[in-house]
Amino acid sequence: MASEIAPFEVHVPERELDDLRGRLARTRWLDEFSDSGWSYGTSRRYLEELCWYWRTEFDWRACEARLNGFGQVEMNVEGQRIHAIHARSPEAGAMPLLLVHGWPGSVFEFEKVVDPLRDPVRHGRRASDAFHVVCPSIPGYGFSGPTVSPGWNVRRISAAFALLMHRLGYQRYGAAGGDWGAITTTDLVRSDAGAGVCGLYLTMPLGEPPEDPGAEAGLSDSERQGLRDWAAHQAAGTVIHHPLNTTRPHTMAFAMNDSPAGLAAWLVDMYRSFSDCAGDVERSFTKDELLANVTTYWLTRTIGSAARLYYEWARQKRTSPRPPRVEVPTGCAIYPRDVRRVPRSWAEQLYSITHWTDMPAGGHFPSLEQPELFVSDLSAFFRPLR
């Protein structure tokens, strides 16, 4: 059974923040060769700097205030909390938008774009592009809390998000996301629960190689580069989380659930590897942006349950029939340093693509890295669907 929508605010007890700072102060640091940088993985020198800042200067209460300022809601679905930012627009004709984060992210992925989407006039844009923005925390991630039972796979999550939109009073709406957000919203429009979705916008569309082994000959240089970059990530081990989480999600999660420095090392390495930062993570993100996300995982104790979604998704794919093609209008934005970039011809086997943009900059977290590009392109895609 599902409960009704209720208001939600983040207020972490001070003792939780004291415990975090105490654990950071007692970190047992890994040895490191001098001047090894990031060649063995996360740099100790950078991680020590980040954790010192986390312990002494980072302001979690400011993060809470930003989320609470947007407005948030929660509901219960079969014992599982579903949390979401619900930022209503002041514009009467605003379009509802379901905006779903990915791994290793949280609703903080969207903090730079929520206000420009809901109140475009205040940001020098057109009132007719306004959205009522709904950003849920995926069950098992962040403020939705750890998953309370097995079986919270993508289909169950997409159905819960459809119910969330219905309970908020939105019968027709757009859906958008990248990474898990792309997978979840794609699943939603393929199911009966997704009948209200009028358009789908993806920053990391799904796509598989065609059966014809010669099909790659027709790809552009940038599309071939995308395939080479994905192969390089696999060879370098920067996407090792995928097979590990799919088969043994708890194995590393115990360590990261117990050590905030370990959690930061894991997540920040992925932010560095998957973004358009040329090896310097703070070219794309500030320390505060990185730590808002890491602290969310720490305080909600959700690194293990977040990893479990890979396990649940693998089981769903093994037991589900071949999914149907997406027939709703679909827009795709491809950012040049995203971890996986499929060629348009591959994506067109799965989606009815009406809008495709090759972006000039950005990576796996475009709403944080390139918020102006993200807002402009998303708004342009949905304009004819209003």
- Bond into 104 cis (ω within 30): yes
Identify which has the larger pLDDT, 110 or 212.
110
User: What pairing do the DSSP bridges indicate for beta strands 131-136 and 95-100?
Assistant: parallel
pLDDT for 88: 98
Over residues 267-282, the mean pLDDT reads 97
In a domain, 1, yes or no: no
CATH number at residue 334: 3.40.50.1820
For a pLDDT cut of 70, what percent of the chain falls above it? 99
pLDDT in tens, 184-223: 999 999 998 889 999 999 999 999 888 776 667 789 989 9
β-bridge mates for residue 83, sequence order: 74
pLDDT in tens, 50-97: 999 999 999 999 999 999 999 999 999 999 999 999 999 999 999 999
In a domain, 6, yes or no: no
Is residue 319's pLDDT more than 90?
Answer: no
Over residues 321-346, the mean pLDDT reads 94
CA nearest to 144, candidates 161, 132, 166, 159:
161
Least confident of 44-53, 67-76, 173-182, 231-240: 231-240
In a domain, 3, yes or no: no
User: What pairing do the DSSP bridges indicate for beta strands 197-202 and 329-334?
Assistant: parallel
pLDDT for 234: 87
Structure tokens given for 306: 């977040």
Is residue 165's pLDDT more than 90?
Answer: yes
Is residue 378's pLDDT more than 80?
Answer: yes
Separation CA 95–CA 89 (nearest Å): 9
In a domain, 53, yes or no: yes
pLDDT for 355: 98
In a domain, 34, yes or no: no
Domain count, the chain: 1
pLDDT for 54: 98
In a domain, 27, yes or no: no
In a domain, 183, yes or no: yes
Sign of CA dihedral 144, 149, 152, 156: negative
Is residue 121's pLDDT more than 90?
Answer: yes
Is this model's pTM higher than 0.85 or not?
A: yes
Over residues 26-41, the mean pLDDT reads 93
pLDDT for 235: 84
In a domain, 335, yes or no: yes
Answer yes or no: are the C-beta atoms of 102 and 184 closer than 8 Å: no
Domain hosting 251: range is 14-22+39-207+214-385
pLDDT for 180: 97
Question: Exposure of 52 by Cβ count < 10 A (0-12 exposed, 13-18 middle, 19+ buried)?
Answer: middle
**Single-letter amino acid code for the residue at 48:** E
pLDDT for 211: 75
**Three-state SS annotation for the chain:** CECCCEECCCCCCHHHHHHHHHHHHCCCCCCCCCCCCCCCCCCHHHHHHHHHHHHHCCCHHHHHHHHHHHCEEEEEECCEEEEEEEECCCCCCCEEEEEECCCCCCHHHHCCCHHHHHCHHHHCCCHHHCEEEEEECCCCCHHHCCCCCCCCCHHHHHHHHHHHHHHCCCCCEEEEECCHHHHHHHHHHHCHHHHHEEEEEECCCCCCCCCCCCHHHHCCHHHHHHHHHHHHHHHHCCCCHHHHHHHCCHHHHHHHHHCHHHHHHHHHHHHHHHCCCCCCHHHCCCHHHHHHHHHHHHHHCCHHHHHHHHHHHHHHHHHCCCCCCCCCEEEEEECCCCCCCCCHHHHCCCCEEEEEEECCCCCCCHHHHCHHHHHHHHHHHHHHHC
Is residue 137's pLDDT more than 80?
Answer: yes
